[in-house]
Amino acid sequence: MQEAILKPVIQCRVAPSLGELEGTHQEVWGTSDALWTDRDTVYMGLYGLNDFNTLWRQEGKKYILWCGSDITHFVNGYWLDDVGNIRVDPKPLADWIEKNCESWVENEVERVALEDIGITAKICPSFMGDVEDYEIEYEHTERPQVYLSCSGDNFELYGWYIVEQIANQCDVDFHLYGSDNWKTQHSNVFVHGRVPKEQMNEEIKK
């Protein structure tokens, strides 16, 4: 990612709804906050119409690093009301992005999801931190531990309802992070809530 697109880029806009990352774009990429509309800019996350409008107004070259769930929001149509009854048709937006932007994703699943709506994307995993700080901690156990995180209370998008449906059929412990508002009926589902990233990093090593 850094060699591929960030050398000509001096600024980055992170979607306001994107959760806390391990590091910042300033620390990892050496980019500054997006303050000028005429500069080449990388956009991290397009979660709603406000994010797209900011992208559309940018005059410099535009790069998009899609983050995952923002693809789902985009494909399903950005909401114009509070409940999703009125949505923006994503196809014209996709056509504009394909013509005017360079898109990047972190895996093949995301690439195909964008391709299905007409957006060509290149694959390059990006970690907002130093991988050397994270040793391989996995040790095999007879009872697997599965970890899921959720942004806000969007439980359906992040698969928490599926966990609730299958938990009593699995010899697995599920650990849910990101929200204090989830209630479970199962003794093998542990709701940790929203915790500092340092705490989560330590807990998921176990």
Domains and CATH numbers, the chain: 2-123 (3.40.50), 135-203 (no CATH)
- pLDDT at residue 84 in the model: 83
Model confidence pLDDT, tens digit, residues 58-84? 999 999 999 998 999 999 999 888 888
Q: Residue 203 pLDDT > 70, yes or no?
A: yes
Residue 42's pLDDT band, with cuts at 50, 70 and 90, is: very high
Average pLDDT of the residues in 148-173: 90
Q: CA 52, CA 2: separation in Å to the nearest integer? A: 23
Residue 96 tokens, joined: 């504009």
* pLDDT band at residue 122 under the 50/70/90 scheme: very high
155 half-sphere exposure, CB direction, 13 A CA radius: 16
pLDDT band per the 50, 70, 90 thresholds, residue 9: low
Mean pLDDT of 23-41: 86
pLDDT at 1 over 60: no
State the average pLDDT over residues 175-179.
93
Confidence label for 204 from pLDDT (cuts 50, 70 and 90): confident
Q: What is the DSSP string of 176-202?
A: EES-S----S-TTEEEEES--HHHHHH
pLDDT at residue 119, as a whole number? 98
Residue 91, pLDDT > 90, answer: yes
The length of the chain in residues reads: 206
Helix, strand or coil for residue 132? helix
